[in-house]
Chain A
């Protein structure tokens, strides 16, 4: 069956999960060996994703589509997973007996998200979401010192399953309206029905499940606690890889409406504004850097929404580019946090003091990452915002774009506070020097170059994202 070739990336991640399932059965745990295996396997995973980037076709009775759109996101997912695994050399946040399970669930989660971006049938989408969500619930609860953070896992699970409930309810509405669960059919029928309140309700309810993953206001309440309560590596995974899948599916679902409903678009505009403003304003007062980034992620979900709600090909392309940018710069910030807090504790902003002396390279990576998040050129974050705003202004959303820019300026304030800590503050009592191994060093250099290169030479990346957005509609 040649068709199975299309499913190779997913099969590869199944294989990885099987390998780590076997390793988890061992009585004696050897963290170093597990780490080496995980790095190699997930590195090959990136290669597999690259090699299968040009595949196209349908499998599983047309419930599963492999096209450029899905393959780009699979590549981003594989890349995010690989980077997160790379930073696990000191996985102190998780008990060493559970390291094999950590990798196991990470890979299954990635598998679920890869299926999510390819799924074009509502029930398949639902199953993929749940597959990845349940792994995340477990990963969050895995943190050492469970008593302290027990609330986190439960909260995440409760909110998450409620959101899933909404989603299924919304999907049932969509099915009731259109008598189909196939996305291709939906996209034909639904735009004509967007005047019906039931269609809007169904779509919004179904979307709320994905907004939850994306941490868009008002579905964000889990984010700060989970970011803070989960082990640093797990937080990194949630903040980078899982955001990619959320973006992919939100773009697909918003596209269902075909831009036919003014009410629906207005609703998205309001959510986008609230998300940006709320996230940025609350982030200002944070002391814990993971919490700060959690609120910043809420704001970024809002920025990305600006591109999505333009409902044009350029808009979707800009959102994909933004997702790529967000992956790189957010990961850069988290990598620095992981390396400074190598005993796995939660990092306070003031602990960054004197970072420019303790590790100039990490300080620079952090600064570029934060400037990227704030949207300062010549970083990739600026180009992302530029594309998103261009798409929105093409549709005439001038006020929305100005609000977005005001928010970018507000956000600059708290990013500057972090940069100030790294570059200006002198530590009161000397913190231990940061250990930067060879892997981290090359990864940091790679990220710095990537942040500037993709920002300054966006042409081919823009072309790629536009091609990907085109394949959404074929």
Chain B
């Protein structure tokens, strides 16, 4: 009965509002009260996390389908709806967003420069991310998508590190260049749909001619692909990651890049199944190239953040490969990988963030033997590296396993190349771990204290999530599957 009662409570809007209200409250805090800003941010991101956890718990896996639906007519003459709901695909994404935001806020606890603006922009960004994941209306998906992109510019250009202005500008222009295809793609589908509605499911029911689907799918795939780091549109990603401050890297690589893959899945594949079939080959090819390319380029990097940046390209390739198989296992794995990779990169960047804050370098040759001076900080990075390689008991193990099984079945040659790419990426991860944390101790860093408890908390949460879903993969796979099975059977 409780679920009936709660169904009337607009929980999704509440989650979205937790960030919007947080943003407004932060804006009205007088200057100089930095501590208060951080506390307020923590409270509001905490509210979001609790609501998301509750949502995850309350979602009825047996029933499946779209739940907690809110639907109101927004703009009559265009058929735009305030339409939100969760199913097995976006539910893990919402949880991921909440976890990464919460830990991101904690990670930035020591920020001193322009604190208020930092958290305001971060909340705006996350409001956009939540919005994209919840909305089931094309207009709103695009609105939130852009809302989540443009705060990246100030966040990187003001608080960033290496070549921050270049990195910020490149990233912003690249990502918005993706919108160049997405927006016309969306409106094109609206115009061709005839029913004049932006409601995702109504459009999908209406169906489109194969030719329209081919054009629209390509537009959506390339448009969202830029954000998903699809090779060869990935070049903004390592540069942007390196330039961004820690929490922004976390949110960006952890959550924002998932928006791209999610967009391909939710818009492209749902609305244009025939377009997907037509272009699946290209998708698989680009994804495989991305996996292999990311791994090899990662091998040559000397900057810790570049290493993670290229490993992200490689890992997002796995997501793309999983989607392109059009099988239950493949898409299951892809969605799981989105979640697992999100948590993992967040951990990666927050681990590097601490090291960089203290040593002011992230060049691998300058470091070395860090595990002796700061064992805890090193442990976080090493765990993330293991997760990245796909060691069992880590969440990404299951995800990568599922994707590779179905990839080898669907595209034997590419699947094998992708697996080889994974081996190379294991190689470069281990190489980085070895030369950064083991080997000769660099005396310059001997005096540096290890991570204090307050800063370790967010990292421990992330490790906890990785291991939890590594040990109990069904906790998330059942949820994902409840949406993927009907989806694949409808293809």
Residues of A that sit less than 8 Å from B by CB: 314, 356, 371, 376-378, 382, 386-387, 389-390, 393-394, 396, 398, 401-402, 405-406, 408-409, 412-413, 416, 419-420, 423-424, 458-459, 462-463, 466
Contact = CB atoms under 8 A, between A and B. Distances in A.
Nearest to A313: B77
Contacts of A458: 75
A166 B177 CA distance: 40
B30 to A, nearest CB: 11
Contacts of B117: 356
A377 B146 contact: yes
Interface in B445-486: none
A114 to B, nearest CB: 28
A387 B188 CA distance: 13
A377 B154 contact: no
B77 A466 contact: yes
Nearest to A461: B75
Interface in B129-165: 139, 142-144, 146-147, 150, 153-154, 157-158, 165
24 contacts: A376-B176, A377-B143, A386-B139, A386-B187, A387-B78, A389-B183, A390-B191, A393-B187, A393-B188, A394-B191, A396-B191, A398-B215, A402-B181, A406-B177, A409-B173, A409-B179, A413-B169, A419-B153, A420-B157, A420-B165, A424-B158, A458-B75, A459-B76, A462-B76
Given A401-B184, A462-B77, A409 B176 contact: yes
A406 B183 CA distance: 11
Rank and list the top 4 A-B pairs by shortest CB-CB distance, nearest first.
A405-B180, A377-B143, A393-B191, A401-B184
Contacts of A423: 154, 157-158
Contacts of B327: none
B176 A412 contact: yes
A405 B184 contact: yes
Nearest to B190: A390
A413 B173 contact: yes
B288 interface: no
Contacts of B144: 377
B153 A416 contact: yes
Given A376-B150, A394-B191, A463-B77, A409 B177 contact: yes
B191 A405 contact: no
B180 A424 contact: no
B311 interface: no
Given A424-B157, A424-B165, A459-B75, A416 B184 contact: no
Contacts of B75: 458-459, 462
Contacts of B9: none
Given A386-B139, A423-B158, A416 B169 contact: yes
Nearest to B145: A377
Interface in B178-230: 179-181, 183-184, 187-188, 190-191, 215
B172 interface: yes
A314 B74 CA distance: 17
Contacts of A398: 184, 188, 215
Contacts of A466: 77
Contact of B78 (A376, A396, A409, A462): A462
A133 B215 CA distance: 47
B183 A405 contact: yes
B297 to A, nearest CB: 27
Contacts of B215: 398
A459 B147 contact: no
Contacts of A371: 150
Contact of B146 (A376, A413, A416): A376
Given A378-B147, A409-B180, A424-B158, A393 B190 contact: yes
Nearest to A410: B173
B184 A393 contact: yes
Given A386-B183, A398-B215, A413-B169, 12 more contacts: A356-B117, A382-B143, A387-B78, A389-B183, A390-B187, A394-B191, A405-B181, A406-B177, A409-B179, A416-B169, A458-B75, A462-B78
Contacts of A424: 154, 157-158, 165
A462 B78 CA distance: 9
B172 A416 contact: yes
A377 B153 contact: no
B191 A412 contact: no
Nearest to B223: A405
Contacts of B158: 423-424
Interface in B225-247: none
A396 B184 CA distance: 11
Contacts of A401: 183-184, 187
Contacts of B183: 386, 389, 401, 405
A269 to B, nearest CB: 15
A387 B139 CA distance: 11
A139 B95 CA distance: 59
A260 B77 CA distance: 25
Contacts of A420: 157, 165
Contacts of B76: 459, 462-463
Contacts of B176: 376, 408-409, 412
Contacts of A390: 78, 187, 190-191
A178 B75 CA distance: 41
A356 B165 CA distance: 17
A389 B187 contact: yes
B149 to A, nearest CB: 8
A459 B73 CA distance: 9
Given A377-B143, A394-B191, A389 B184 contact: yes
Nearest to B189: A393
A382 B177 contact: no
Contacts of B157: 420, 423-424
Nearest to A405: B180
Contacts of B191: 390, 393-394, 396
Contacts of B177: 406, 409
A473 to B, nearest CB: 17
B33 to A, nearest CB: 15
A378 B187 contact: no
A457 to B, nearest CB: 8
A50 B139 CA distance: 31
B219 to A, nearest CB: 9
